[in-house]
Amino acid sequence: MLRASRLLLVAAAAAGLGCAAQQSAKTSDALFGSSVAALAREHAPDLYAQAEIASEKAEAALRSKDQEAADELLTAAHLWLAAGAVEAERFQLDRELAALQLEEERWATQLARDQEASATVARDISRYEARAVALREVDRISEIEGSSTVSGATLEAVLTRVRFNLALAEAFGAPDARLSALRDRTETIARKGSEPARSVEALLLSSEGLLGEIRRDWPEPRPGSSTELVETAVVLGFVADRGGTGVVVRSERFFSSNGRVSNATVNRFHGLVSAFPHGPVACQVVVPELRSEAWTRRVAQLVERLRPMNGPARIYTSMVATQSLSAGTVQCTFAAYREP
């Protein structure tokens, strides 16, 4: 509408010389009372003022019977007002462009947020899927204990975990020689299709140990380490979850049915502690009663087995009597892996 009115003003100005004799104060009032004139007055006051001056001079010339001067001044008034209309249109277009730019920025910001949210959801889905796979593999890996050989499904599960560990170790900057040696062992076992349980478990713990050597150089656990600890513990056959005091790892397999300490479970726990080397590990052994001599001997044997062969002690063990867990359950808290 503004552009059409501006074109009419320009056309009127071009025809001004031909019809100026017929112009009157009424025509001038109609011209300056238009919506275009109002916009020109608001957004181009200097041009509007020039149009008003020219119009007033044209009326004065008409009163003085100077038709030629009136024609020129009235044409000038039209041109000044048309210029004001152009300036008003430019202002409106600039304002609309600014509004569009703000809208575009808003949508760009929203798009970035949506993409970030989508990436977070994708990571969560991937992590949950990985954990679901790990949970399905736990029973297979746990078959290693007490078996001379492992089934094909268990072997596949272990080799999958080992390859994952080696890929992670490579990303962390593990030495090529160590990676190459473990990969050779992995592929050799994969080609054979069968291997004694002890060798398979040793390969798994070696890959976890390599990650532990790398993490040992970190001053503290990196973000996400608590989740890695939970997943690794689950793969090794433990129950694990994050709590307010750290990652809690639990197992009922530290003692056999006859009360003996399980070598396989202790070895796996040592592997877990080695893979996540930061901070102390506080363990509690659930006993029927604290004065039980039989359980005191069993716990003493476990403490002896949990004592590291070399390096500083990290595992601290005590007894607790509770009805919430079965006797012989060992629950250990990795305090350094507490995350908000």
pLDDT digits (tens, 9 = 90+) for 89-140: 787 788 888 888 888 888 777 777 767 766 666 665 565 555 555 555 555 5
Return the percentage of the chain with pLDDT > 90, whole number. Answer: 34
Residue 7 has pLDDT above 70, yes or no: no
DSSP designation for 21: G
According to CATH, what is the number of the domain 224-340?
3.30.1330.60
Q: State the Cα angle at 126 between 245 and 171, rounded to 5°.
A: 80
In this structure, the dihedral spanned by the alpha carbons of residues 304, 309, 312 and 318, taken in order and rounded to 10 degrees, is -10
In this structure, the dihedral spanned by the alpha carbons of residues 189, 192, 196 and 198, taken in order and rounded to 10 degrees, is 0
Could you tell me which residues are beta bridge partners of residue 38?
Answer: none
pTM above 0.75, yes or no: no
**Given this model, what pLDDT does residue 12 score?**
41
Least Cα distance to 161 among 215, 96, 236, 51 occurs for: 236
| C-alpha atoms less than 13 angstroms from C-alpha of 5 in its C-beta half-sphere | 19
Least Cα distance to 237 among 201, 210, 209, 206 occurs for: 201
Q: Where are the alpha helices (DSSP H) in 33-66?
A: 35-43, 45-63
Least Cα distance to 135 among 62, 239, 206, 50 occurs for: 239
Residue 233 has pLDDT above 60, yes or no: yes
Strands 315-321 vs 281-287: parallel, antiparallel or unpaired? parallel
